[in-house]
Amino acid sequence: MKGKGLLIFALLAAGAWWGYHSLPSWYNPFAPLQLTDPPGRITQFKLRRLTDEACRSLLAQANARRLISSQAVADSAGTCPLYNVVRVRDFGDIKLSSSFLASCPLALSSALFVEQQAKPLAQQLIGSPLRQIDHFGSYACRNIYHRENARLSEHATAEALDVSGFRFANGKRVTVLKGWPNAQTQPFLRALLSSSCLYYGNGLGPEYNAAHANHFHLGMRGYGLCR
């Protein structure tokens, strides 16, 4: 009876192994993340579990495919030390109001977010190609909300980007501040913020609190808080 139980266990284990290995890679949580993986909870899970080495490798691939243009920045010490950080200059044909510092996970997640969400949503809901993303910056050595006794902000480790607006090929500009209450542009902004959950740990906008009335805070901490 004991031998029979072990045999059944072995068969079940083999079936589970075969099931995982016969899945498409983007459905298999144990398969390495690829830049072509479609958005979804499995891809989100893989993004959150990337090693430093895997992140650097994927970011190099993203640079080669012109999904992003980034350059490595030397690690630094001090009150707000930086590790495994890059300077992001653009997202391929999507320009930035200025370059910004980003941890490797923030840079990679942002490249995928722009390619898989921002670009198609712009075409679908604005009717014009996205050309530029405006932002308030990423790295700032400070506590959250500048409170003296609070913990360090995600900005203190370059793990968050504050996006303020978007510019399009037809000359249209949509800002978070004016576009959120506008019935014509709100669907685009809402769709963007909602989809950010698939790439970032948190995406905070105007309905989160008054401090985010004029920007989306896209950060790496947490898991799926987007509002």
Which of 120, 123, 119 lies closest to 133 in space, CA to CA?
119
Residue 49 has what DSSP assignment? T
11: confidence class by pLDDT, cuts 50, 70, 90: very low
Beta bridge pairs of residue 161: 218
Contact in structure between 118 and 163 (CB atoms under 8 Å): no
Q: Tens of pLDDT along 118-176?
A: 999 999 999 999 999 999 999 999 877 767 676 778 999 999 999 999 999 999 999 99
Note the pTM of the prediction, 2 decimals: 0.87
CA dist 109 → 26, 93, 160, 177, 208 (Å):
16, 17, 11, 24, 22
Q: Tens of pLDDT along 50-68?
A: 999 999 999 999 999 999 9
Query: Residue 194 has which token pair?
Result: 């909602």
